Structure 1
C-alpha cells in the first residue's frame, strides 16, 4: 500500500468519525487549533499536513487513546516476544 493511499484512507476515516460524532468542520478545526482548510486537507488525505495537526484532530475526535494503542509495539506478538530484550541505544548499519 502506498503512503498516499494510506493517507487517503485515514483522511476519509477522520471525515467519517467527524460526521458520526455530529461535528462540523468548523467545530473540529476550532477545537484542534487549525484552519478549516487544514482540516479539509487532512480529510482528503493530503500528505503536506503537519503531524501536530493530525494528532490534534485525533484528540478532538476522541481517537488519541486508540491511536496510541495502535502504535504500542508491546501490544503485538512480536513486541511481547522481544520485551525481555534490552533495546539498543542506537541502531547502526
Structure 2
C-alpha cells in the first residue's frame, strides 16, 4: 500500500451474543473484502476483541459492520472503538483469528 495515503488503526470490542455464531470468521471475510488487515479473537468475558488497519473509508465501513451487521446468528448490543491512530504504514499483514 502506498505511503502517500493516510492509514488508520482502530481497536474494537463487540458485545452481545457474538461467540459461537461464526462472528470471527465473518469478521475476517468482511475485513478482507474491504482490504483491511488486523486480527480478531474471542475473550473469556464473552466478547470479541480485535484491531483493524487500513484506509479511513474502509475502516469506517468496517466500524458500521461491527456495530450493526456482524455474523448472521449474532446479536450485537454494543461495539466500542478505542486507540484510533494514524499510521505511516500498515503494521500487520492479512486479517487473522487469534487464539
**TM-score (structure 2 length as normaliser):** 0.31
TM-score, normalization by structure 1: 0.32
Larger % of strand: which? 2
Of the two, which has the highest radius of gyration? 1
Structure scoring higher RCO (CA < 8 A, sep ≥ 6) equals 2
Larger helix fraction of residues: 1
